[in-house]
Amino acid sequence: MSLLRPQRSALPGFGLSLGITVAYLSLIVLLPLSAVFVKAAGFSPVEFWQAVTSPRVLASYRLTFGASFLAALANVPAGVILAWVLIRYDFPGRRIVDALVDLPFALPTAVAGIALTAIYAKNGWLGQWLEPAGFKVAYTWIGVWVALTFVGLPFVVRTVQPVLEELEPELEEAAATLGATRGQTFWRVMFPALRPAIITGFALAFARAVGEYGSVVFISGNMPLKTEITPLLIITKLEQYDYRGATALAVVLLVGSFTLLLLIQLFQRRTRGARA
């Protein structure tokens, strides 16, 4: 506990608040999650390795991590443009658009999945136009990507918005005075300032997408080796009472996500420290 002693603050309540935090965190998050590790520990290292690297599992990682990556990636330009438009421009319905951005946080994922499938299936609102054009969305990895993009959409917008807002207009003006075009000003002056926020938003969207299940199973088609996501394999293993196999996969997802979150935290502390 001595490591946790506060270094600068005369405020009271550190022990109490940190106590509550750590106790509640342990009870609700750490203790339950440790069950996953304990269960997976029933494997020998070799068995564990085999369980998490079988061809079907590897294919599911490719889809899960790949589609999550592409979804988070798509959310970067979309999120930056959205943030830009919401902050810099005024247009009818701006407030509504701004409110809608949070919808994926609030809409139950199963509902999102059913709705997206209904829209992109070949007799759906959009599917009926896309599919004759040779563009299949539902029941392909593109459908998975659409669902994950939906789920991760708010993250980049909401992390970029405040930074964009705080950018000093003087910088842009100075750049313009020195003869830079708008494009140069954006890429050379503004983008570097936005970069940390973009990375944070990207990482949060990515981490969220990796674990997503409810919205994806409806639209993915669940074909082994093709459109099967890792969380679905966890369920499949549970069906066969293979609790250890299921938890082994869960551990892989968990460690991946946690590493990512920790890296962002450390990255941000460093950049904040550099700025201060």
Partner 1 sequence: MNSSILSLRTALAVFLLAAALVSTASAKDIALLNVSYDPTRELYVDFNAAFAKYWKAKTGDTVTIKQSHGGSGSQARSINDGLQADVATLALGVDIEALYNIGKLIPQDWQKRLANNSAPYTSTIVFLVRKGNPKRIKDWDDLVKPGVGVVTPNPKTSGGARWNYLAAWGYALKKYGTEDKAKEFVGKLYKNVPVLDSGARGATTSFVQREIGDVELAWENEAFLALKEFGADKFEIVVPSLSILAEPTVAVVDKVVKKKGTEVVAKAYLDYLYSDEGQDIAGRNFYRPTNPAIAAKYAKVFPKLELLSIDADFGGWTKAQKTHFADGGIFDQIYVK
Partner 2 sequence: MAGNVSTLVYVAKHRQRRSLKDPLWVRVLLIGAALLFVGLFLLVPMASVFAEGLKKGWGAYFAAFRDPDALAAIRLTLLTAGIAVPLNLVFGLAASWAIAKFEFRGKALLISLIELPFAVSPVVSGLVYVLLFGAQGWWGPYLPSGEHPWLGSWLNGQDIQVIFAVPGIVLATIFVTFPFVARELIPIMQVRGNDEEYAALTLGANGWQTFFRVTLPNVKWGLFYGVILCNARAMGEFGAVSVVSGHIRGLTNTMPLHVEILYNEYNIQAAFAVASLLTLLALVTLVLKNLVEWRHRRVLEAATASTTRQFIS
Q: Looking only at residues 232 through 251 of this chain, which bind partner 2 when binding is defined by CB under 8 A?
A: 234-235, 238, 243, 246-247, 250
Query: Which window, 99-107, 119-127, 152-160, 266-274, contacts partner 1 (CB under 8 A)?
Result: 119-127
How many Cβ atoms are within 10 Å of 184's Cβ, its own excluded? 13
Which residue bears the tokens 């100075």?
174
Q: With binding defined as CB under 8 A, does residue 58 bind partner 1?
A: no
**27 Cβ neighbours under 8 A, 6+ residues apart:** none
Q: Token pair of 115, please?
A: 């709705």
Q: With binding defined as CB under 8 A, does residue 68 bind partner 2?
A: no
Shortest reach from residue 45's CB to partner 1, in Å = 19
The dihedral of CA 129, 134, 138, 144: what is its sign? negative
Q: Which does 68 bind (CB under 5 to 8 A by kind): partner 1, partner 2, none?
A: none
Which residue bears the tokens 């054009």?
133
Q: With binding defined as CB under 8 A, does residue 171 bind partner 2?
A: no
Shortest reach from residue 214's CB to partner 1, in Å = 12
Q: What are phi and psi of 52, to 5 degrees?
A: -95, 5
Q: What are phi and psi of 133, to 5 degrees?
A: -80, 5
Q: With binding defined as CB under 8 A, does residue 241 bind partner 1?
A: yes
Q: Which of 238, 261, 262, 263 is in the footprint of partner 1 by CB under 8 A?
A: 238
Shortest reach from residue 104's CB to partner 2, in Å = 8
Burial of 35 (0-12, 13-18, 19+ CB in 10 A): exposed
Closest CA to 248 of 59, 26, 44: 44
Amino acid, single-letter form, for residue 5: R
Burial of 167 (0-12, 13-18, 19+ CB in 10 A): middle
Q: Which of 171, 223, 225, 262 is in the footprint of partner 2 by CB under 8 A?
A: 262
Q: CA 162, 167, 172 angle in degrees (round to 5)?
A: 150
Query: Which window, 55-63, 90-98, 128-136, 219-227, contacts partner 2 (CB under 8 A)?
Result: 90-98
Q: Which of 123, 134, 166, 192 is in the footprint of partner 1 by CB under 8 A?
A: 123
Enumerate residues 160-199 that contact partner 1 by CB under 8 A.
none
Shortest reach from residue 65's CB to partner 1, in Å = 20
Contact footprint for partner 1 (CB under 8 A): 54-56, 117-118, 121-124, 138-139, 217, 221-225, 232, 235-242, 245
